[in-house]
């Protein structure tokens, strides 16, 4: 099946091969070399000098970890399903939290955030950069309105590796993402850059658990090791992928390729009588959310595409049927997307 969903994504065969390399012990020098190499590659990708937490969990784990270590109260910015999930996670961990909600399809508005921050003092603010559920790319200018003594926690799960995010210039305290989206790898590992402020704040938070505790992470990071047994096969693949991104494709070319695939998908949608769901100027470059303005049966179209070997996604949650999504992230090439869009032409031409 050809995956054009917003993760997991197709994985290049050479990366899958890396995952079948012989196992090594995670308390060995060889492992520490691998750890060092992936951390350096991730720091370069995210433009940070901060420590990077390599976690054997999906990104939801690090979302949970980030609010367990952040103190209280927390302000969760919500304009879609993943922002909402972060608010739920925050509350379920017993942290006092407010949600600042924006209409779905609309971006987070920095001025409204600033107003809210003037009303109450927060220990941390969370924001999802690329809302995969609505295809909205939220403005990173929000970072500028977060006061110095408030941590800014950013989910870049479906943007990092496809869109440039300069963690240190923006002053992002925790920037988290995982392997199975724009990084072009199978699921199983996630990462979080942690600023000194985020680490300091966490020292006074109790209880903050064990698996995602920044204190435990730092103790092992000093030794260039992980808290518990990590997903070593995926670390091999990640190491190779970071080398590919930095030394072969190049970060800028990678970001341009993602933007080009967004343009191609927008042209297809407009050419086939559909609109783009998010507000203009805030469209995701990695997953396009198309508004079903023609009112066609999306489930049926998805099944027809599946029968021809291609998988795209219906709208998320309440947007099912009203929208549908095409993921164009990771190592997907424009030529491959062209092929999908050709098949979509045929399927949607006859869709009712």
Ligand X SMILES: Cc1ncc(COP(=O)(O)O)c(C=O)c1O
Residues that bind ligand X (CB under 6 A): 7, 58-60, 82, 128, 130, 132, 155, 157-158, 178
- Using the minimum distance from each CB to ligand X, give the nearer residue, 82 or 217: 82
Place of tokens 């800014």: 152
Q: Are 79 and 139 in contact (CB under 8 A)?
A: no
- Nearest distance, CB of residue 342 and ligand X, angstroms: 27
* Closest C-alpha to 39, from 169, 175, 244, 192: 192
- Using the minimum distance from each CB to ligand X, give the nearer residue, 150 or 286: 286
DSSP string, 214-239: HHHHHHHHTTT--SS---HHHHHHHH
- Nearest distance, CB of residue 192 and ligand X, angstroms: 12
- Using the minimum distance from each CB to ligand X, give the nearer residue, 238 or 296: 238
DSSP string, 111-143: HHHHHHHHHS--SEEEEESEETTTTEE--TTHH
- Using the minimum distance from each CB to ligand X, give the nearer residue, 31 or 324: 324
321: Cα separation from own chain's centroid: 24
Q: Does residue 218 have a cis bond before it (omega within 30 degrees)?
A: no
- Nearest distance, CB of residue 291 and ligand X, angstroms: 19
- Nearest distance, CB of residue 218 and ligand X, angstroms: 23
- Nearest distance, CB of residue 60 and ligand X, angstroms: 3
**How many Cα atoms are found within 13 Å in the side-chain-facing hemisphere of 72?**
13
- Using the minimum distance from each CB to ligand X, give the nearer residue, 50 or 66: 66
């Amino acid at each position: 099946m050809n995956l054009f969903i917003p993760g997991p994504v197709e994985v290049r065969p050479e990366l899958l091969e890396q995952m079948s390399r012989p196992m090594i012990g995670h308390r060995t020098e060889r492992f520490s070399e691998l750890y060092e190499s992936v951390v350096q590659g991730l720091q370069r990708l995210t433009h940070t000098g901060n420590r990077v937490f390599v976690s054997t969990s999906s990104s939801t784990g690090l979302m949970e970890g980030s609010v367990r270590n952040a103190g209280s109260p927390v302000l969760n910015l919500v304009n879609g399903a993943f922002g909402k999930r972060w608010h739920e996670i925050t509350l379920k961990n017993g942290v006092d939290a407010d949600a600042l909600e924006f209409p779905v399809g609309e971006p987070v508005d920095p001025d409204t955030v600033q107003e809210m921050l003037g009303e109450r003092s927060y220990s941390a603010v969370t924001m999802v950069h690329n809302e995969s559920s609505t295809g909205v790319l939220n403005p990173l200018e929000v970072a500028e309105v977060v006061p110095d003594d408030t941590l800014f926690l950013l989910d870049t799960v479906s943007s990092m590796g496809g869109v440039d995010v300069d963690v240190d210039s923006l002053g992002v305290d925790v920037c988290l993402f995982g392997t199975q989206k724009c990084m072009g790898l199978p699921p199983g590992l996630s990462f979080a850059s942690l600023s000194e402020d985020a680490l300091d704040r966490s020292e006074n938070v109790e209880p903050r658990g064990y698996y995602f505790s920044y204190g435990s992470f730092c103790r092992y990071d000093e030794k260039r090791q992980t808290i518990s047994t990590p997903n070593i096969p995926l670390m091999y693949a990640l190491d190779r992928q970071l080398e590919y991104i930095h030394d072969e494709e190049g970060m800028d070319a990678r970001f341009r390729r993602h933007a080009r695939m967004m343009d191609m998908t927008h042209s297809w949608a407009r050419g086939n009588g559909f609109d783009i769901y998010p507000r203009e100027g805030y469209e995701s470059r990695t997953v396009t959310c198309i508004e079903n303005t023609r009112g066609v049966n999306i489930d049926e179209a998805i099944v027809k595409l599946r029968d021809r070997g291609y998988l795209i996604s219906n709208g998320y949650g309440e947007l099912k049927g009203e929208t549908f999504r095409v993921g164009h992230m990771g190592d997907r090439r424009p030529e491959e997307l062209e092929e999908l869009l050709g098949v979509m032409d045929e399927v949607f031409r006859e869709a009712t």
